[in-house]
Structure 1
Amino acid sequence: MRRLSAFNVVSLTLGFAFLYVPMLILVIYSFNESKLVTVWAGFSTKWYGELAGNQQFLDAAWVTLRVAFFSSTIATVLGTMAAYALIRSGRFWGRTAFSGMIYAPLVMPEVITGLSLLLLFIAIGLDRGILTLVLAHTTFCMCYVSVVVSSRLITFDQSLEEAARDLGCTAAESFRLVTLPIIAPAVVSGWLLAFTLSLDDLVIASFTSGPSSTTLPIKIFSSVRLGVSPEINALSTIMIGIVAIGVIIASLMTKRSMARRLADEAAADRAELT
């Protein structure tokens, strides 16, 4: 096994410290007794109780979860369709423009995207609220889903679809029974990525949200401008814990799936030998 050099060890240590030490400090001070987030006054969990009774934060969290769920689901459907059309349709008229429109929001500044969507909603007379948030998040999340699914479709063996068609399946049936189960990990990854991006969005949501549709990032940003409260530390700690649990579950599911696939391949090899 190749050993890491001292330079690599120091670089990795500094990099991880830069990323995770601030999070560790935030988690520690979420259990602080004092209202001052920079002064340690003893261990306490009272700020989690205060957070549970803060209706404004709870309402913002509920709005954020609803918007993230619906926008990521719609973005996954549309992004998968766009990726399939882009990869499987070959060369067609307008393909360059179509791919450009898919990838443009990836490099477009969020301020420009948010402002353009705001002007669009004003032009068509659509009041800002949950619906405008879902439409706005779907617009930019769909691009990320399309990229993830496209990378999986490029390596997909099309002979499997052809075999299904030879056995009597229609195009829709071959996609539903063969293609979709194989690319399902990429589709799920795209949905999770879209869900995370929607949860984290601040700039576009600030342009397209209304008075009754304040998301959690907007609420946190507004509260921080008046001073950091220990309740925000508690809320951030809960979000870090949820993300960590999700990552652990996804890692375990990936390892289990890989182990199952290796076992199936080994069983198939033994069957061929016998």
Structure 2
Amino acid sequence: MEALTAWIVSQLKSSSGNTIGLAIPAMTALMGATEARHLFAASGGIKYLSRQLRSGGKKQASAKTSSDKKPKTPASVQQLYELTFCLWTMTYELEGSANIRADFAKDGLAVAALTELVSVAPREKVVRVALAGLKNLAICTSENDAGPAGTPTIDGAVFLNDMIACGLMKAIDFLKDRQFTDPDVVEDVTILHKLLAKNYKDLTRWEVYQNEIESGHLQWGSVHTEAFFKENASMMEGSDGDFRIVKVCQHLCYIVTELLILSFKYNPEILRSRSLLFL
């Protein structure tokens, strides 16, 4: 089982859709056993699975908005469904494992991937499984395994903050107006809507901004005003005086600058996009 898991994870690391397609049937079968799911998580599988899902979701979004009717490398809907199914299956280990919760929380990749799939909505079956995974993340607790003493608690509240930062509230509001035939989808949308709304009300404007910064999913909004930054200037220092938020902002600005340089070579109009004005 260890050799098979190692091979599956190595295929997930690859960017080739062909090799991933070969690994999916084996991974799906592997997810049927609790022991195998824990072995998959310990091998870094959650990170690489989330990365593949996010890549596939972006390709679907690009295919929907592109004028080219035949995109070069679209992820198939069936492949997205099977990958999402595997990640959803892994969420059933959240309650009993602090390590698996930590793997899901790392870099916010899993939440970002599932949120993008819900937003793009390639097919109802993909949305259904993505919503089920998000719901399990939102309601998980640390009661059965709190993790090592002195480490931050990771539970549903942490994942809800990530969901808010990724813009899931907007996607859920949209889904509430759709007519779904599957009662499970309706139930998951309702639960997520209530939990997200409650969690958002409990957050200060600074906490909302901080979540956006830490997740890397910044969206231009009412928070980004001169008055807001004057009011919260001291918060930039951080509780430990390490200016961590400022350092993250600096890193994000560096990434954006690099992307702008590359994008300008192909399309100068990209510089006029307000969506890139993060701060």
The answer, yes or no, to whether TM exceeds 0.5 is no
Structure number having the greater helix percentage: 1
TM-score between the two structures when normalised by the length of structure 1: 0.24
Which one has the largest radius of gyration? 1
Question: Bigger relative contact order, structure 1 or 2, given CA contacts below 8 A and separation 6+?
Answer: 1
